[in-house]
Amino acid sequence: MLIVLGDVSAQGSELTRSKWTLLVQQFHNLLGPFLDLPYHVVPGDRDIGKCNDLDEVSVTKVTRSFPGLDSSGCGAFDIGNINFVSLNSVALLCGNNELRFSVEKALERERIEMQTENELVKNVINESSGSKIPKHDINWRENDMSSGSGPVLLLHIPLHQTAEKNWRDDDHDGNMQDSAESSKTRTLAEAGPYEVSQTLPPNATEYIFHALRPRMVFSAHAQTFSDRTHPDGTREIVVPSMSWDTGKDPEFVTVTFRRNGFNKPD
């Protein structure tokens, strides 16, 4: 399974449909012999643009170009007994935006599906479809799932970094550390809609942790590799986006999920 964490283009949000079609063909050429494998693409900010122009219509060309995405740019799939959930994290940067509300509904739907398997799920989803990520007074629904028991979470924009004393860099693998050092020399071809230091807001990050209890998180957007562990023990690996000036040699990680629950990125 191939997973691309967004930014398949440098300025895809500004391209006409014909130029976007050409770009998708170039992306397929980049995949080369791996194109026959199943793949999933997470929308990036360079692909769909900034919040002021963001809605389901504006992301249609992206969601129709890549498999497994709903109209809001979210998706969910299974590989064996491992569940994956991808969220359009760019929309979660927005304020009162219809696309953001659609992403929140997708997030809430995944939370409910993980907590119950009975026939009342559909009714519960309908009742909670108006749920929004709280901005100040947080009144979350009960979630008795333990940390790390949820799906593998796929994002473009990384999760918010908590205070430095609670957020640590972990050198889990020497190869990744070497890759991180080499990627520091890479530079952006052109500036994107958001700064490379952009992360999701704290309230959205905390809500994601509460709702999904992710087993592991993969994100992108930044210019270098980062392998870190959140305070609850959730590991997040940030992979440089495809639109960095990498030529024909984009950065990547390979991950093996084992039955004992250990996740080994290389």
Going from N- to C-terminal start, the domains of the chain cover 2-265
pLDDT in tens, 10-54: 888 888 889 999 989 988 888 888 888 889 999 988 888 888 778
CA atoms of 263 and 241, how far apart (whole Å): 22
pLDDT in tens, 118-173: 345 445 555 655 555 544 333 444 445 556 678 999 999 999 987 554 444 444 44
Q: Which of 29-33, 192-196, 239-243, 247-251 has the lowest mean pLDDT?
A: 247-251
How confident is residue 85, by pLDDT bands cut at 50, 70 and 90? very high
Q: Which of 107-111, 179-183, 221-225 has the lowest mean pLDDT?
A: 179-183
The CATH number given to 2-265 is 3.60.21
Report the phi/psi class of residue 187: left, alpha or beta, with left for phi > 0 and alpha for psi in -120 to 50. beta
pTM: 0.77
CA atoms of 73 and 68, how far apart (whole Å): 9
